[in-house]
Structure 1
Amino acid sequence: MQHRIVVLGAGYTGAVAAGRLAKRLHREDVAITLVNPEPDFVERVRLHQLAAGQDLKARPFSEMFAGTGVKLKLAKVTGVDVDRGTVTVASADALGPEELAYDTLVYALGSGWNEGGVPGAAEHAHEISSRPGALRLRERLATLESGRPVLVVGGGLTGLEAATEIAEARPDLDVSLAARGVLGDWLSEKGRAHVRKVVARLGITVHEHAAVDDVRADRVTTADGRTIPAEVTVWTTGFAVHPIAGATTLEVTDRGQIVVDATMRSVSHPDVYAVGDSAMAMGPEDKPLRMSCASGVPMAWQAADAIAARLTRAKVPDVSIRYFQQCVSLGRKEGLIQFVTADDRAVDRALTGRVAALYKELICKGVAWGVANPTVGMPARRRRVARREIESRVRAEASA
């Protein structure tokens, strides 16, 4: 009898986990079902580009997983019973809820936007953590006349990328950014200086120490009483995990993340693994891994390899997850690669300018390629070509 593996969610982590499991295991031994409500892979790290008016390449799962043995179930997850080993889903072509039984569950439902309970945010602000949200913002921006104010709330990576992308695509708009603290306060001195230079060149007004506590249709109000005009408000202050895990008997954190061990296995239910934003995993220096693609993809590798090893009675890999860099796009022509310590603290080294933009683009393409080709490793020739391309561009920039 085949061992039934059900993967919930086909974002970066779920898709990578499903593909890696298909590569590690024989299809006559396992049945891998990937549950997702949409038929295409969403490059979440590019949704700010979609919102700014750019078109993204379609990546159908039917092509990505062709010939792998991974079965795609187009449905929305409505419940999980970890004590019975079942998942309840709702699909458009079914008359009612369906139940899927599993022997091993990979929970990768990820996260969505978090309005933080701020009055008016849910009613008036736009989010870019989902494709529908990015498309709604895209449509709204297209209706704005020249000179109208657009405010991005949140000075983190998502906020920086959204503000610079919108300002570059629509230089006629009055774009501003509200940061709770100092802009780029987690970056190195070089990184902060470069961000400020790009933001100034794009004409973005920065409001520092501006914690927004009220959102209206045409403005926001900060905790210290400032009023900032905003015909469109983009909310990027953080993410909230999918609520389904919190309704189960799984051990979860106060935020609803599933508590896992070093192999991404639930500490309370050994037949459940959690990856990406859905999981609370510890990294270097015993610090929680941050919610990001940079954490999620290695978590998916870790979980898939551990599952495969345990099913085949092989040695479970012992590989620690660490950070190397933070990649920030600042429009299509500028970028910042902030190098970091293993536990994600900025160091003095940083790559800036057009070279950094190319570096970030190559990383995004590489991650998407890895998802789209889950059962094969990147050919050595392709790795060499990519490395030579980066090196040649770095030399060209240095001599310019």
Structure 2
Amino acid sequence: MSENRILVLGAGYAGMTVAIGIAGRLKKRADVTLVNPVSRFTERLRLHQTVAGQELADLQIPAMLQGTGIRFVQGWVTGIDLDTRRVRLADGPELGFDTLVYALGGVADTATIPGAAENAYTLNSAADARSLAARLTSLHEGTVVVAGGGLTGVESAAEIAESRPGLRVVLLSAGVPGSMMGPKARAYLHGALDRLGVDVVSGVEIAKILPDAVETADGSRIEAGAVLWTAGVRVSPMAAQAGLDVDDQGRIVVDETLRSVSHPFVYAVGDAAAVRQPYGTIHGTCQSGIPTAAHAAASIVRVSRGRPARPFRFGYIHQPVSLGRRDGVIQFTYADDTPRRIFLTGRAAVIYKEFVSSSPWKSWKLLKHYGGAVFWPHGPKR
């Protein structure tokens, strides 16, 4: 195994899981390097809490990797040479590899609307969340617009409204927030937003983001002291630039074992992978991202031992949504993410959401010693 240099790009939920999963299985026989631009782990699932002024734990990646034998390199990846199997960094030596795990996740897509990149806040990092929190603190009155009615938009709007009652919060959505839920859970979600004072405006097409307002396609204008952009996610173009086969969204096309179909020595996990299941392509969430990472770790270890990798199977189980610190709704789902009749609300939902979204550190501690200690519903067979 010492001849197999494993390089993991990205230390988000998926990247950390795959690196620690490999090290936990192979112990000291693993040669694993993990690259990330910052040394602090970003709890993407909880950044809306940072926006509300709450402090999250300072999880330092080098400290979390202690005892694993994983080498951590802090740096920005600027390019991948698949022919020579080397990765270029913005400030540092090139890194060679035999096996590459591509775990560079998605970011808010601000390129689709004029002014979004220049004038809107995003939640791509802890620094982004703190920047928005500082802006909200400086606003004593006025309007905050949250653009995008997906889970991130809903959770952010609820958190801001609860923590900043002096501000008007407007949630703009092209569709209906909570549309993926069953009717009862969706009704509860909208009732909770109404109780928090969030103005939900559905069926809106945003035309432009200005420094102090949002313009819609019908010509109306909403004055705003701050705009949070959560409408859409894009992945890094680096995979396509390197020559990997990607889909129309830039995600790496993988086979049933999560290997690139064009370059079998490359594995893709999390948001970066276009993973097909019998019900369709899985969408990028932590719920699916961590299982892809755990499976990729198992596949890499099996192949290194001369055994065939197994097909990846995954099924969804829930859609957890926090609605401030004291409320929430959990829609349980079938494997294809369509809603079941069962859902949780109120305090029970808060406890459930906190459990599934809490720091992954405890799971990674277990992975250090038991590389296979990640379990997930496998969904339907192919």
TM-score w.r.t. length of structure 2: 0.94
1:27 aligned counterpart, secondary structure: helix
- Name the CA distance, whole Å, in 2 between partners of 1:262 and 1:209: 37
Counterpart secondary structure, 2:358:
helix
Structure 2 match to 1:115: 110
Partner of 1:124: 119
In the other structure, the counterpart of 1:396 is none
Matched, 1:347 2:340: yes
For the residues of structure 1 that align with 2:365 and 2:239, how far apart are their CA atoms? Answer: 27
The aligned amino acid for 1:237 is: A
- Tell me the equivalent position of 1:237: 231
2:379 alignment partner in structure 1: none
Deviant stretches of 4+, over 4 Å: none
Distance in 1 between the 2:129 and 2:148 partners? 16
- AA of the residue aligned to 2:7: V
Question: What is the aligned-residue identity percentage?
Answer: 43
Structure 1 equivalent of residue 240 of structure 2: 246
Q: CA deviation at 1:346?
A: 1.6
How far did 1:310 drift? 0.5
Structure 2 residue matching 1:73: 3-state secondary structure? strand
Q: What secondary structure sits across from 1:320 in the alignment?
A: coil
User: Once the 2 structures are TM-superposed, how far is the Cα of residue 8 of structure 1 from its aligned partner?
Assistant: 0.3
Judge conservation of contact 1:284–1:321 (CA < 8 Å) in 2: no
Partner of 1:228: 222
Q: Find the partner of 1:274 among 268, 287, 307.
A: 268
- For residues 68-147 of structure 1, the aligned pairs below 5 Å read 68-91=68-91, 97-145=92-140, 147=141
Is residue 24–residue 370 contact of structure 2 (8 Å, CA) maintained in 1?
A: no
Equivalent position amino acid for 1:252 in 2: V
Q: Is the 8 A contact 2:99 2:265 kept in 1?
A: yes
Aligned counterparts, 1:368-379, within 5 A: 368-371=361-364, 373-377=366-370
CA distance in 2, matches of 1:276, 1:292: 8
Displacement of 1:367 in angstroms is 3.3
Tell me if structure 2 keeps the 8 A contact 1:33–1:72: yes
Aligned residue for 1:110, secondary structure, equals: coil
CA deviations on 1:99-156 (whole Å, 9 max, x unpaired) are: 11100000001111101421111111110122221121111111101x3100101011
Give the drift of 1:26: 3.9
Q: Distance in 1 between matches of 2:326 and 2:370?
A: 30
- Of residues 332, 350, 353 in structure 2, which corresponds to 1:357? 350
Alpha-carbon separation, structure 2, partners of 1:308 and 1:377: 13
C-alpha deviation, 1:27, in angstroms: 2.3
Q: How many pairs does the alignment contain?
A: 372
Q: For residue 230 of structure 1, what is the amino acid of its counterpart?
A: A
1:289 corresponds in structure 2 to: 282
Matched letter for residue 103 of structure 2: A
Q: Deviations over 1:2-35 (max 9, x none)?
A: 310000000000000000000112423x310000
- 1:213 Cα offset (Å): 1.1
Q: Which amino acid aligns with 1:353?
A: G
**What amino acid is the match of 1:89?**
L
Q: 1:56 to 1:373 in 2, by over 3 A?
A: farther
Partner of 2:174: 180
C-alpha change, 1:359 and 1:68, in structure 2 (3 Å) is: same
Quote the residue 2:66 is aligned against.
66
Corresponding residue to 1:213 among 183, 207, 210? 207
Shift, 1:366, TM fit: 6.0
Mapped partners of 2:232, 2:348: distance in 1: 28
1:157 is the counterpart of 2:157: no
2-structure distance, mates of 1:82, 1:374: 30
Are 2:17 and 1:8 equivalent residues in the alignment? no
Q: In the TM superposition, what whole-angstrom CA distance separates every residue of 1:349-400 from its partner, at most 9, and x where no partner exists?
A: 111111101101011126342235531359x9xx9xxxxxxxxxxxxxxxxx
Distance 2:331 2:105 in 1: 25
Contact 1:125 1:233 in 2 (8 A): yes
Q: How much does 1:317 deviate? A: 3.1
Superposition deviation, residue 319 in structure 1: 4.3
One-letter code of the match for 1:226? S
1:169 to 151, 158, 163: 163
Alpha carbons of structure 1 residues 309 and 11: separation in structure 2 relative to 1, 3 Å: same
CA offsets 1:302-345 (integer angstroms, 9 cap, x no match): 11111100001234234411101111111111111111111111
The aligned amino acid for 2:275 is A
Question: For the residues of structure 2 that align with 1:11 and 1:182, how far apart are their CA atoms?
Answer: 29
SS of corresponding position for 1:374: helix
Whole-Å separation in 2 of the counterparts to 1:44 and 1:335: 18
Conserved? CA contact 2:7–2:97, under 8 Å: yes
Q: Partners of 1:133 and 1:203 in 2: how far apart?
A: 25
Contact 1:20 1:375 in 2 (8 A): yes
Q: 1:265 maps to which residue? A: 259
1:148 partner letter: G
Cα distance change, pair 252–319 in 1 and its aligned pair in 2 (3 A): closer
